[in-house]
Amino acid sequence: MHINQLLEKQKKRLQKNSDFYTARGTHVYFKDDVVNDIDVEEVVAKVEAKLPEHLLSEIEMIVVGWFEEFEERNINAFYDSGAIYVSNIQDDHDDMFDDIVHEIAHSVEDAYGYQIYADQKIKEEFLRKREHLHNIMWKMGFKAPKSFFLNVEFNDDFDDFLHKEVGYDKLAPIMRGVFISPYAATSLREYFATMFTEFYLDSNHSFFKKTSPTLYNKISMLQNQEILDSQ
Ligand SMILES: [Zn+2]
């Protein structure tokens, strides 16, 4: 490659990794360079175009980079007081979109916790699914105490049981039609966050509506600020 082209390419790369502000004022800060050729501005623009403004109200900043928490907790993004921390190592555009929307879901839990959880309806739906899962797994020989399945909070022992004893690869087919992914089964909050993400990832909602009708109605309700504020 010609040296000028190389320099031009490098310049472009550097530009892409420069901090910027979005139209709604979110500060996007690069702690580390993005490894793949992902246009972060495009990803964030898509997030802001797809999600209604009021559901973005908690987000002041997105920090792109690698953090110790990722390794410690085996995650690639987290939300903490107004900021989303997202990994700079992403497979592609959709992978990053998915991570950011997932963390926005957790910020929405902060902002609209009452509207989401106070009526206990999602919790009831989640527990019915957990019970179903317990029964299927028991029959298959994966015998874990029922108390695991009745605790809606994230629990390391339960996560280890799903993740290490059973294995996510074996779990995926067991969960088909119950939970969208093994991660969605790990806690009530992750059930909410994974389905919130799914809502914007896939515009065909028929499967979602059928398998998680209560959560689907709740997330649909969240789209409408007037209904939300009237509650
Ligand atoms: Zn989460």
Give the residue-averaged pLDDT of 181-197: 95
Is residue 196 within 8 Å of 108, Cβ to Cβ? yes
How far is residue 181 from each of residues 37, 107, 147, 191, 212, measured CA to CA in Å? 27, 21, 21, 9, 13
Structure tokens at 88: 């700079």
Q: Cα(128) to centroid of ligand 1, in Å?
A: 21
All residues with CB under 5 Å from ion ligand 1: 193
Q: Cα(190) to centroid of ligand 1, in Å?
A: 5
Is residue 183 within 8 Å of 197, Cβ to Cβ? no
Residue ranges with strand state E in the chain? 20-21, 27-30, 61-64, 77-80, 83-86
Domain boundaries, the chain: 10-112, 119-229
Q: Cα(220) to centroid of ligand 1, in Å?
A: 19
DSSP 29: E
115 band by pLDDT with thresholds 50, 70 and 90: very high
Integer Cα distance of 22 and 138 in angstroms:
49
Q: What is the pLDDT of residue 168?
A: 84
Q: What is the pLDDT of residue 36?
A: 85
CA nearest 225: which of 127, 115, 137, 133? 115
Q: Cα(187) to centroid of ligand 1, in Å?
A: 9
What is the percentage of the chain residues whose pLDDT exceeds 90?
71
Q: Cα(26) to centroid of ligand 1, in Å?
A: 21
DSSP 140: T
Q: Is the pLDDT of residue 9 over 90?
A: no
Integer Cα distance of 17 and 32 in angstroms:
8
Give the residue-averaged pLDDT of 99-118: 97
Question: DSSP states of 38-101 as a string?
Answer: --HHHHHHHHHHHS-GGGGTT--EEEES--HHHHHHT-SEEEETTEEEE-S--SSHHHHHHHHH
Q: Cα(189) to centroid of ligand 1, in Å?
A: 7
The DSSP bridge partners found for residue 63 are: 29, 85
CA nearest 110: which of 84, 74, 77? 84
Q: What is the pLDDT of residue 12?
A: 55
Is residue 110 within 8 Å of 55, Cβ to Cβ? no
Q: Cα(4) to centroid of ligand 1, in Å?
A: 44
Q: Cα(132) to centroid of ligand 1, in Å?
A: 22
Q: What is the pLDDT of residue 114?
A: 95
* Torsion sign (Cα): 167, 199, 110, 100: positive
